[in-house]
Chains A and B, each alone.
Chain A
Amino acid sequence: KAGVTQTPRYLIKTRGQQVTLSCSPISGHRSVSWYQQTPGQGLQFLFEYFSETQRNKGNFPGRFSGRQFSNSRSEMNVSTLELGDSALYLCASSWKENNEQFFGPGTRLTVL
């Protein structure tokens, strides 16, 4: 069974631009969570989607948004990028909301 895939793996943007990251969960998994990982703050929860509905949202500004499609694939969008948005963005999927989460390889975003 294929694991969680994320595209792109690396991305360089400039301040003020927007970016869209994509995540394909493990086949059959319906829950997708997004995390931001930085050296200073570690892994921080962004949001979770289950059956196309956002079930939970972390403490991030409204510039961070996401959605989930009927095939469980998910996208997250960051608008008006800031230097501090440079991070590794990880997507994790699970079969149900309270199950173990399997992480994808992440998208490394650099904002210049």
Chain B
Amino acid sequence: GQNIDQPTEMTATEGAIVQINCTYQTSGFNGLFWYQQHAGEAPTFLSYNVLDGLEEKGRFSSFLSRSKGYSYLLLKELQMKDSASYLCAVRDPQAGTALIFGKGTTLSVSS
């Protein structure tokens, strides 16, 4: 089967660092994506990992361990505008090119 788990909710304060974890169990693996979705808006692409290791892009970094079926999204220097839902998605070649999404982590940033 296919299963992607993320925490449902997280809270943090401005300026802090937060790590959102994602674990996955899929038949195959061909890449892991992180998307950000503000309420009422479309998901926007944040990062893509296909090999083990850390990918850094400004205040956002994403890590992947394929052997552990694990990824995290690290957000640094949090800002109020980072309050959103963060979606982890895996591409499983056994499911074609479809993205299999977790249910998302709602992050609330307070001042």
A56 within 8 A of B: yes
**Given that A100-B45, A103-B42 are contacting pairs, would A56 and B97 also be in contact in the complex, using a CB cutoff of 8 Å?**
yes
Q: Give the complex CA separation of A96 and B101 in angstroms.
A: 19
Q: How many positions in chain A have a CB within 8 Å of any CB in the partner chain?
A: 23
Task: Give the residue name and chain of the A residue nearest to B98 (CB).
Answer: A45
Q: How many positions in chain B have a CB within 8 Å of any CB in the partner chain?
A: 23
B29 within 8 A of A: no
Establish whether residues A43 and B101, one from each chain, have CB atoms under 8 Å apart when the complex forms. yes
| A42: B residues at CB distance < 8 A | 87, 101-104
Establish whether residues A56 and B95, one from each chain, have CB atoms under 8 Å apart when the complex forms. yes
Establish whether residues B99 and A90, one from each chain, have CB atoms under 8 Å apart when the complex forms. no
**Given that A90-B42, A104-B42, A106-B42 are contacting pairs, would A98 and B91 also be in contact in the complex, using a CB cutoff of 8 Å?**
yes
Looking at the complex, which one of A35, A55, A100, A106 makes contact with B48 (CB distance below 8 Å)?
Answer: A100
Establish whether residues A90 and B43, one from each chain, have CB atoms under 8 Å apart when the complex forms. yes
| A33: B residues at CB distance < 8 A | 97-99
Task: Give the residue name and chain of the A residue nearest to B87 (CB).
Answer: A43
Interface residues of B in 72-109 (CB under 8 A from A): 87, 89, 91, 95-104
| B35: A residues at CB distance < 8 A | 103
Looking at the complex, which one of A35, A56, A102, A104 makes contact with B96 (CB distance below 8 Å)?
Answer: A56
**Given that A42-B103, A43-B87 are contacting pairs, would A55 and B44 also be in contact in the complex, using a CB cutoff of 8 Å?**
no
Establish whether residues A56 and B104, one from each chain, have CB atoms under 8 Å apart when the complex forms. no
A-B contact pairs, 5 of them (CB 8 A): A42-B87, A44-B101, A48-B98, A105-B41, A106-B42
> Assuming A58-B98, A100-B45, what are 5 further A-B pairs, CB within 8 angstroms?
A42-B103, A43-B99, A56-B95, A98-B97, A101-B33
A interface, CB within 8 angstroms of B: 4, 31, 33, 35, 41-45, 48, 55-56, 58, 90, 97-98, 100-106
